[in-house]
């Protein structure tokens, strides 16, 4: 979890029910920081491996949207990518109007120019068992050992890292840098359902080097990458650049989508390893 002056980022896993704490979170924001208005909401997740195993409202996206709408009224829901590897998003930004109108709207929101902002997420599955073995108590004495052995400490330099190694296996880390950049990685190493999520707001004109470092560290068979960026941010160029990555090293792009929201651009791409 990351809390800053204007933003609350909550990342969960397994059967956690994050939307059930919405009322409490909104109340806390009001009580502790005096925030009574929500400017925007981004609720996103990839398709669950076993949706029926989830607790309500997370057992289907429609129920999640219904609950979010009961709080925020005019949200918009999107599903990107093919059925089994799809990625869901709920946000308050309307996808409407012409591109010119959207540009103008971006400048006109309360007379302010929106803050430059970008987020990259890399959601990896079917990972190399040799790498996944690092994230168990049997092979790493401490979380810091696992962080170093996997090269997580080198992915984005300058991060202060808070890491945790679960027993018998599993790993989570949150990192923050002095400039406000964050990185968060969560690892499920069990071979039958191996999964790693990476997320950061690091500003970059190109994401290919970061992507290459993350892929070299975890060696997934398949991954989804999403880039969310304001059009003026460095990340916007990096997101558009994804369109040109038809192939990335040993991976081939099997799906890609691009959305233009008011104030944000979103790129989704799915990559799979070439058959060996």
Ligand X SMILES: C[S@@+](CC[C@H](N)C(=O)[O-])C[C@H]1O[C@@H](n2cnc3c(N)ncnc32)[C@H](O)[C@@H]1O
- Tell which one of 189, 220, 231, 263 touches ligand X (CB under 6 A): 189
List phi, psi (to 5°) of 151: 85, 10
Q: Does 161 bind ligand X (CB under 6 A)?
A: no
CB of 172 to ligand X, least distance (A): 4
CB of 143 to ligand X, least distance (A): 11
Q: Does 143 bind ligand X (CB under 6 A)?
A: no
Q: Which stretch binds ligand X (CB under 6 A): 63-71, 95-103, 166-174, 250-258?
A: 166-174
- Tell which one of 2, 7, 8, 12 touches ligand X (CB under 6 A): 12
CB of 171 to ligand X, least distance (A): 6
> Is the Cβ of residue 189 or residue 263 nearer to ligand X in the bound state?
189
CB of 199 to ligand X, least distance (A): 11
- Tell which one of 169, 204, 211, 238 touches ligand X (CB under 6 A): 169
Query: How far is Cα 157 from Cα 179, in angstroms, rounded to an integer?
Result: 12
> Is the Cβ of residue 108 or residue 190 nearer to ligand X in the bound state?
190
- Tell which one of 188, 200, 226, 233 touches ligand X (CB under 6 A): 188
DSSP the chain: -EE-SS-EE----TT--GGGGHHHHHHHHHHHH--------EEEEEPPSSGGGSPTTTTSHHHHHHHHHHHHSS-EEEEES-GGG-EEEEES----S-HHHHHHHHHHGGGSPPPP-EEEEEEEEEE-HHHHGGGBTTT-SSHHHHHHHHTGGGTSTT-EEEEEE-SSB-EEEEEE-TTS-EEEEEEE--GGG-EEEEEE----S--HHHHHHHHHHH-EEEEEEEEEE-TTSHHHHHHHHHTT-SEETTEEEEEEEEEE-SS-EEEEEEEEEPP-
Q: Does 186 bind ligand X (CB under 6 A)?
A: yes
The answer to whether the CB of 122 falls within 8 A of the CB of 238 is no
Size of the residue set binding ligand X (CB under 6 A): 14
Query: How far is Cα 166 from Cα 135, in angstroms, rounded to an integer?
Result: 8
CB of 167 to ligand X, least distance (A): 6
Q: Does 166 bind ligand X (CB under 6 A)?
A: yes
Q: Does 122 bind ligand X (CB under 6 A)?
A: no
> Is the Cβ of residue 45 or residue 186 nearer to ligand X in the bound state?
186
State which residue has the least CB distance to ligand X. 170
- Tell which one of 162, 190, 191, 254 touches ligand X (CB under 6 A): 190
- Tell which one of 75, 81, 170, 263 touches ligand X (CB under 6 A): 170
The answer to whether the CB of 214 falls within 8 A of the CB of 222 is no
- Tell which one of 2, 7, 9, 13 touches ligand X (CB under 6 A): 13
Residues contributing to the site for ligand X (CB under 6 A): 11-14, 166, 169-172, 186-190
């Amino acid at each position: 979890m990351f809390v800053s002056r204007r933003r609350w980022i909550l990342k969960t896993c397994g059967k956690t029910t994050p939307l059930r704490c919405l009322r409490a979170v909104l109340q806390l924001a009001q009580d502790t920081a005096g925030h009574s208005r929500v400017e925007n909401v981004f609720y996103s997740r990839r398709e669950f491996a076993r949706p029926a195993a989830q607790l309500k409202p997370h057992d289907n996206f429609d129920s999640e949207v219904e609950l979010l709408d009961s709080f925020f009224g005019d949200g918009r829901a999107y599903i990107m990518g093919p059925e089994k590897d799809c990625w869901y998003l709920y946000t308050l930004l309307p996808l409407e109007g012409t591109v010119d109108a959207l540009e103008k709207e971006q400048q006109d929101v309360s007379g302010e120019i929106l803050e430059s902002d970008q987020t990259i997420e890399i959601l990896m599955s079917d990972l190399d068992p040799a790498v996944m073995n690092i994230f168990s108590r049997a092979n790493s004495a401490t979380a810091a050992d696992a962080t170093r052995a996997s090269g997580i400490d080198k992915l984005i330099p300058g991060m202060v890292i808070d890491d945790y190694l679960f027993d018998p296996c599993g790993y989570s880390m949150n990192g923050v840098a002095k400039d406000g950049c964050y990185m968060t990685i969560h690892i499920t190493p069990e071979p039958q359902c191996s999964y790693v999520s990476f997320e950061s707001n690091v500003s970059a004109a190109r994401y290919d080097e970061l992507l290459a470092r993350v892929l070299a560290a975890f060696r997934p068979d398949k991954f989804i990458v999403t880039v969310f960026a304001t059009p003026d941010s460095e990340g916007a160029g990096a997101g558009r650049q994804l369109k040109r990555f038809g192939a990335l090293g040993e991976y081939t792009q099997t799906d890609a989508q691009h959305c233009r929201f008011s104030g944000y651009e979103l790129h989704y791409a799915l990559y799979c390893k070439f058959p060996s």
